[in-house]
Every structure is written in C-alpha cells, then in structure tokens.
Structure 1
Amino acid sequence: MRSYRPSVTLTAPATTPRPRLLSPAYAVTTVGMFALCALVAFEALAVTTVMPTVADELDGVGLYALAFAAPLASGVVGMVSAGAWSDRRGPAVPLVASLVLFAVGLVVCGTAPSMEVLVAGRVLQGLGGGALTVGLYVLVGLVFPAVLQPAVFASFAAAWVLPSLFGPALAAWVAHAIGWRWVFLGAVALAAAAGALVAPALRRVGTTAAGEPTPRSRLAWALVGAAAVLALDAFPPAALVVLLALRQLLPAGALLARPGLPSVIGTRGLMSASFFAAEAYIVFVLEENWGLSAGIAGLALTGVGVPGQRPARSSPGSASGSRTPR
C-alpha cells in the first residue's frame, strides 16, 4: 500500500518589532516628558542669567544667595514627598500636583513686588520641580518597557543639555525686550502644553502603586534639612542640622565616603553642590564686576552646558564698586 507524507512548509516565526521611543504608542508621552525636563532645565538657566537684574531691580542683592538656595532646599522636600506619594498612590496625582505647584511658583516670581516674595516663589518652584523630576522617573518605570527605559533616561540628560545652547541668550533677550518678569510668566504656558502631552499616560497608569511605602520620617528630616539650609545665612550653626538631616536621608556612610554606593552618592552630591554654587555666581560676577550684559554673561552657562567645551580664561577685571551678595 502506497503511503503519502504530508508536505510541511517551514516558515520563519513572526518577530515582534522592537519598540521605539517615537513609535505611535510612546511618541506623545516621550515628547511630553522630554519637554517637561527641558522646561525645568531652561527655567534654571534662564533664572540664573537674569537674577542679577532681578536682584538689582528689587533691591534684594542681600537675598541673592537665598534665591538659589531656596529651590534647592525645597527641591529635596519635593523629591521625598513625591516619592512617598507615588509609592502609595502612583505617579499621576503627584505629578499633576507638582506641575501646578511649579507653575504657581513661576507666577509668584513673575509678579513679585519684592525680593522676599520672589524667594517665596522660588521655594514653590523648588517643591514643584523636585517632585516633578521624581514623578517623571516613576512614570518611566510604569509606561515604558525595560528595553526602552535607558533611552528615556538618556533623553532626559539631553533635555538638560539642549536648553544650555539657547536658554541664557533667550532669557537675556526676553528680559531686555519685555522685562525679566516674562522669563517666569512665559514658562507657565509651556508647562501647561507639556503637561497636556503627558496627560494620556497619566490616565493610563491611574493610581497604580509604584513600590514599597516610604517611611514618613524621611519627609520630616527633609523638612528639617530644608529649613536649616534656609536659616544658614542668619544662623551658621544650622549647618550641623543640615549634616544631621543628610545623615538620615542618604545611605549609611555617604558622608564618610565609604566604598561602594555611599561614596558614589556622596561624591556626586559634592560635585553637584560645587557646580550649582559656581553657576549661580558666575553670571553675577561677570555682570557686576566686569560690566558685561546678561546676554554675554549667559554665554558662560552655554559653555558649561556643552559637553567637552570649556570657557576660555580671561584676566579678571576691576572689582571696584562691586557688590557681593551675602
């Protein structure tokens, strides 16, 4: 009896295309998150460029340092609170709240009648900006697959570099053309537009919990540390309270630079503190001591922001008649 063998056709298994950041499923969210990071970075550089003008007009040079310390200190509180909130309820509500808080801070700064009010607005900016950063990081873990997450974080890094190319010059032009207040107020519309792009992703994640609950003591120590930083100018011994708060917030051994993760975190903290301190004062010195315009002085920030590029050294100008902020 003749037997027949069924014919078998071998076909290659269907392969799932590799997801991309700008594929239809992720494009809007990617652009929105990039825009939010770029907005925070642009605002930081823009404010640094025009702050000497602001302090001069509001007769608040004595509060110049506090205008930069305030958002950095409150930013820690925003980060800790947003992290704890996201762990319990997911990132949607914390991210929206942080964006609103950041925008309110911009409005307060843009309408400030005095330097004291502007510093208060900077506190709100720091709370919102710090919380916004954490909310975006949590959102990345919930929205994007693991294979795309490194690319998302790389785009965040690019979002901090890109504004350095045009942020200082644009801020100087805005301050000269229509006034420094619009450096703050003009960013409110940009924040609303970027938030609208991220909104669909926030609706999808809803109230999904993102991790283990954060101890409430962390928030308490963040508040204590922020208050101590703000009190340093009037009460230098508050530095001891700052160190105590950092000891509670950082991994064990970070302040002693113990090998491993503690030394990495401690070193990065020192580098960041040095960088932001120098960045805050370099424009002030260039404008007040050397008499440069805000646009020219802002080029120093552009040079720092471009990878691999260093500003050229010049001989210092006369310091006669200069005003040094406390």
Structure 2
Amino acid sequence: MTTSPTTGHERAGILAPAYLATTIAVFALIAFNAFEAMAVTTVMPTISRDLDGLGLYALAFAAPLASGVVGMVAAGQWSDRRGPATPLLVSLVLFSIGVLTCGLAPSMEVLVGGRVVQGLGTGALIVSLYVVVGVVYPARLQPSIFASFAAAWVLPSLFGPAVAALVADVFGWRWVFLGVVALVALAAALLAPVVPALRTWTAEDGAAAPRTRLAWAVGAAVMVLAVELLGSSGFVLAAVPAIVLVLVAIRPLTPRGTLLAGRGLPSVIGTRGLMSAAFFCCQAYVVLALQELWGLSPGQAGIALTVVGVVWASASQLQARLRDHLTSERAMQIGTAMLLGAAALLWVSVWQHLSFWLAGGAFVIAGAGMGLGFTRTGVAMLAASSDTDRGFNSSALSIADSLGAALALSLCGIGFTAATEAGGDPFLAVFGVAIVCAIGAVVTASRTPCRPIGPSSAPV
C-alpha cells in the first residue's frame, strides 16, 4: 500500500518547507486557469455577437465542461497507475492548443472546437491536482489546501473581468485568449521543480481501471453536446434520448448509487455535480443578463464576477478555519441552501424587473454558498478514499462537476432558444434550470456523510 510522503511533518502547514514548492505550483495553476475562466465569461457576450454565434452561446460554455470529462477519466486512470506528474504536463499542452485555437477562430463553430480541446486539458489538470493533494498533504491540511484553491481565484476575480474588458476594447477579444498562453508557460516553469518528486510516487497496489470507462466518458461528452445541439435546433424530442444516454454513461464513471443519491460518497459526488450545475447556469448567463436587461457594459457586468470570486474565496477560508467545528456534511447543507435561495432571488429579479443590484447580490450569495459547501465535497471525497481508488474518486468528483454543469448549460441553451422563439423571457428559463438543480443539491446534501466512509466505492 502506498503512503503519502508527509511522515514527520504532522505539525507543518501548507507553506512549510516540505510543502512550499507544491503549494506554490498548484496555487499558480489554479490561478491561471481562473483568470482564463473569468476573462472568457466576461467577453463571451461580445464574442458571440462579433462571430454571429449567439445560438452557440451555451455550447461555448458547455463544450469545455463536457470534453473535460474525457480528460478527467484519462488523468484519473493514468494517475492511479503512474502518479500525477505526466498527466499534469499533458494537460498544459492540451490547454494551450485549445486556447490558441479559440484566439485564432474565424467563426463561432471553430471557437467551440477550440473550447473542446481546452476542456480536455482543464479536466486532466483538475483531477491531477486532486491526486497531488491526496498524495502530498495529510488529511488535516487538505481543507487548507482546498481553501487555497479558492483563494487562487481572488486576484483573477479582482482583475480578470476588468482586464478582459479592457483588452477586448483596446486590442480585441482574441487577445484575451492569446494572452493566456504566456500564463501557461509561466505555470509550467513553476511546476517544473515539483514534477521529479511526483514521479517517485506510483500506486503499485492499485487495480487497473477498466479501459471502457474512457469510452463511457467520450460517450457522455458527445451526448451532452448533442443535447444542446438537438434541442436548440428544434429537435427537442430527439434530445430526450441523448439525456438518457448521458445518465447511462455516468453510471460507470461514478461510485455505485450516485444517480440514486445513495448515502455516503455517492451523495457527496451528486452534491458536487448539482451545485456546479446550479451555479454555472447562473454564472454563464448573469453577465449576459446584466448587459441585455439592465444595459450594463461588459466591464460593469464583470464586477459581479469579481465580487463573487472574492466572496467564494472568503467563504472557503471560513470553512477551513471552522474545520474542527463544522462538519463537511453540515457545510454542504448550508451551502446548498444558500445556493437555492440565490437562484430563486435571481429568477425573481428578472421576472419582476427589479434592480440589477438585487440580481448581482443574488449571484454573490450563490458564490458564498459555493465557497462554504462546494469546497467540502473534495474533503469528504478524500476522507472516503484510499491509495487504490483516490484517482477514481477524484475523477468521479470532477466528472460530476463538469457533466452536471455541461448538461445543465445544454438545457439552458434549449430553454433560452425556446423562450426566445415563443416571445418569452429567455432568462427566466435559464435561471429556472438553476433552481431545479439547486433543489436537487439540497436533497443530496442531506444524505452526505460526516465521517470517513471507506474505500470500496468504485464500480466493479
């Protein structure tokens, strides 16, 4: 059985010499990824108008999330066999290729293709980092390192939207993507000193993961994208079987009982997916809503992303400080309740045409709920994992995260198109999807564990 290389450092913090290089590297990777996400969310309304691709707006967000599932499964299997070093490096290459494609895209279709490649890299990166956390840091430091993941969003949240709006206005939106390539190169330089240590770790006792999981991941990603394409093209009935196939494909990629909200780890995974679905439905469309309904500029609308990033990080730091007094189960329950209240308030703000301050405030509440509850899903997952299935469970957590958001965004795309064609308010349909997902998150959070639940969760 492989053990974590932390013996003798039980009293050290994440900035102690034993962990400092790894902490800096993973912090930088999350921060650069966060900057890209915040920047692209800010300028995507401009991109969709410039490339005449508003019909593919939802797909531009769903595509990297869906393709990320393939990267997650591959990285999870790779990490369980050989450790996380090589998947980390490959993820940076794929991410760079995708970003370059987006920056040079002549059409919205090509941009969506670039987002697919970018998602492969992002998915592999996230899973690899979760495995690194499980390998390098002891359990008592894991809430702190996960809180640092949220803290890594602070600077991108503060400056990302404003910088993206300025770059798009002065140089054009393409440089929002192209400028990220330099950040990826810097991340690789920071990661280089850490990689040799990670290469010394292998899960020699881990069972080989079935190769069919990768095929299921590809199937799930394709079907998620098919849901949005079919539904938005008017073939709503044809999208229903695609949704069913997505659920079928999820089964081998997650612990037994996840789709039925089984108690313990399955509900932790389900809570992660549903929280992600509800929040990212709001995030993808709140900037567009603030511009279309309230007439804000891209820079003004991006302020909402800035505030949410800071609030999310602050709430995440709070849950880390309360780790001895607030169980993961309770944190997830509070976080999902806040997320549901925020989605409902955002929906009412649009319905009643209330102040944009109220709509933005609702989104901020959603960020606080995510910082409190979303972070603890990672802690609860690792508490339920062993060296032999840490990669699978990390992969499952991130798969639920991405597939939940991607499928919800696809449904948002269908609702947005249908409401527009019917002469209704498309944003009511979008935020209605967020409310439904948040309700599901509240239910699954009530079934999560507050203590370790054992390592035998992977499907046979």
TM-score (normalised: structure 1): 0.85
Distance 1:153 1:100, change over 3 A: same
For 2:194, give the aligned amino acid.
Answer: A
Deviation, structure 1 residue 181: 1.1
Instruction: Supply the distance in 2 between the matched residues of 1:178 and 1:28 (Cα, whole angstroms).
Output: 35
Q: Which residue is equivalent to 2:456? A: none
Deviation, structure 1 residue 145: 5.2
Q: Which residue is equivalent to 2:289? A: 285
- For residue 209 of structure 1, give the secondary structure of its aligned residue in structure 2: coil
Are the aligned partners of 1:82 and 1:131 in contact in 2 as well (CA < 8 Å)? yes
Superposition CA RMSD, Å: 2.9
Alignment of 1:155-170 (within 5 A): 155-170=148-163
Deviation, structure 1 residue 304: 2.7
Alignment of 1:14-25 (within 5 A): 18-25=11-18
In the alignment, structure 1 residue 271 sits paired with structure 2 residue 310:
no
- For residue 239 of structure 2, give the secondary structure of its aligned residue in structure 1: coil
Rg larger for: 1
Deviation, structure 1 residue 70: 0.3
1:190 equivalent among 174, 183, 187: 183
Distance 1:323 1:122, change over 3 A: farther
Are the aligned partners of 1:91 and 1:207 in contact in 2 as well (CA < 8 Å)? no
In the alignment, structure 1 residue 218 sits paired with structure 2 residue 237:
no
Gaps of 5+ in 1: 1-14
Q: Which residue is equivalent to 1:117? A: 110
Instruction: Supply the distance in 2 between the matched residues of 1:109 and 1:197 (Cα, whole angstroms).
Output: 25
Distance 1:22 1:268, change over 3 A: closer
Q: Which residue is equivalent to 2:407? A: none
In the alignment, structure 1 residue 172 sits paired with structure 2 residue 211:
no
Instruction: Supply the distance in 2 between the matched residues of 1:116 and 1:128 (Cα, whole angstroms).
Output: 19
For 2:217, give the aligned amino acid.
Answer: A
Are the aligned partners of 2:63 and 2:115 in contact in 1 as well (CA < 8 Å)? yes
Instruction: Supply the distance in 1 between the matched residues of 2:115 and 2:81 (Cα, whole angstroms).
Output: 27
1:315 equivalent among 345, 350, 354: 354
Alignment of 1:20-99 (within 5 A): 20-99=13-92
Q: Deviations over 1:270-303 (max 9, x none)?
A: 1211111111111112223332111111122223
Instruction: Supply the distance in 2 between the matched residues of 1:322 and 1:175 (Cα, whole angstroms).
Output: 31
Are the aligned partners of 1:55 and 1:115 in contact in 2 as well (CA < 8 Å)? yes
Q: Which residue is equivalent to 1:6? A: none
Q: Which residue is equivalent to 1:3? A: none
Are the aligned partners of 2:70 and 2:221 in contact in 1 as well (CA < 8 Å)? yes
Distance 1:226 1:315, change over 3 A: same
Deviation, structure 1 residue 242: 0.9
- For residue 298 of structure 1, give the secondary structure of its aligned residue in structure 2: helix
Instruction: Supply the distance in 1 between the matched residues of 2:157 and 2:261 (Cα, whole angstroms).
Output: 31
Between stretches 123-132 and 24-33, larger displacement belongs to 24-33
- For residue 246 of structure 1, give the secondary structure of its aligned residue in structure 2: helix
Q: Which residue is equivalent to 1:12? A: none
Deviation, structure 1 residue 47: 0.8
Gaps of 5+ in 2: 1-7, 231-237, 316-337, 357-419, 431-460
- For residue 200 of structure 1, give the secondary structure of its aligned residue in structure 2: coil
Are the aligned partners of 1:73 and 1:229 in contact in 2 as well (CA < 8 Å)? yes
Instruction: Supply the distance in 2 between the matched residues of 1:230 and 1:17 (Cα, whole angstroms).
Output: 46
Q: Deviations over 1:174-211 (max 9, x none)?
A: 21122111111111111111121111211222263234
- For residue 192 of structure 2, give the secondary structure of its aligned residue in structure 1: helix
Instruction: Supply the distance in 1 between the matched residues of 2:133 and 2:267 (Cα, whole angstroms).
Output: 27
Deviation, structure 1 residue 268: 2.6
For 2:47, give the aligned amino acid.
Answer: V
1:201 equivalent among 155, 172, 194: 194
Instruction: Supply the distance in 1 between the matched residues of 2:138 and 2:83 (Cα, whole angstroms).
Output: 17
- For residue 167 of structure 1, give the secondary structure of its aligned residue in structure 2: helix
Instruction: Supply the distance in 1 between the matched residues of 2:299 and 2:188 (Cα, whole angstroms).
Output: 29
Deviation, structure 1 residue 316: 6.5
Between stretches 46-55 and 304-313, larger displacement belongs to 304-313
Instruction: Supply the distance in 1 between the matched residues of 2:164 and 2:143 (Cα, whole angstroms).
Output: 31
Number of aligned pairs?
311
Deviation, structure 1 residue 54: 0.5
Instruction: Supply the distance in 2 between the matched residues of 1:257 and 1:203 (Cα, whole angstroms).
Output: 40
1:227 equivalent among 222, 225, 230: 222
For 2:63, give the aligned amino acid.
Answer: A
Are the aligned partners of 2:101 and 2:110 in contact in 1 as well (CA < 8 Å)? yes
